[in-house]
A and B are shown apart, each in its own frame.
Chain A
């Protein structure tokens, strides 16, 4: 089983739609969680951290469910510019902090 699993997609949605991605992780000792965004042929960039209480940043809402070991990202009112790959990232402490990336979920927003 992969440490961090994501549906690869692509999710193809019209502008203005609401879309949600889930991510599951296997290590119950995971301590922090993030969503990174990666545009085609570009480097990943931090989109938002994910907190236990859930957090919102504009049109983006992230949720964490520790009991079920999954993280979600909700995008409301999708824009063409939201088209990208969304990487789920999990951080846990072994001998050092280890950041494990999922394979990403691809989102395509069409006009």
Chain B
């Protein structure tokens, strides 16, 4: 079974530039998550989609970050403009999304972003 696909694997940009990340979840998974993981910290949820609707975006810095999940499958996360503190690994994850409290997440390999 194919896992969660993310691209690009690495991205280096200068501050104030824009960047976009792409994620393709596991087929049939209704819930998609974007996490930000800063070095030495645990993953922090940025946004959670259920199909193509946003369930939780309370920790998304909406002045610069945006995300969409058109047609309830692929998703893109955009940062515009980037700041130095956005340097992190951006992880996409998916789960079946059946409302189980034991929902298990499957992560992609992540995109490592360096803002110079």
Contacts and interface: CB of A to CB of B under 8 A. Distances in A.
Interface of A: 4, 8, 31-32, 34, 42-46, 49, 87, 91, 93, 95-104
Interface residues on B, range: 20 to 34
B107 A96 contact: no
Contact of A96 (B41, B48, B102, B110): B48
Interface of B: 33, 35, 40-45, 48, 50, 55-56, 91, 99, 101-105, 107-110
Contacts of A87: 42-43
Contact of A97 (B40, B43, B103, B109): B103
A53 to B, nearest CB: 14
A43 B33 CA distance: 14
Contact of B56 (A34, A49, A98, A101): A98
Contacts of B55: 95-96
15 contacts: A32-B102, A34-B104, A43-B91, A44-B105, A46-B104, A49-B104, A87-B42, A96-B48, A96-B55, A96-B56, A97-B101, A97-B103, A98-B56, A99-B103, A102-B42
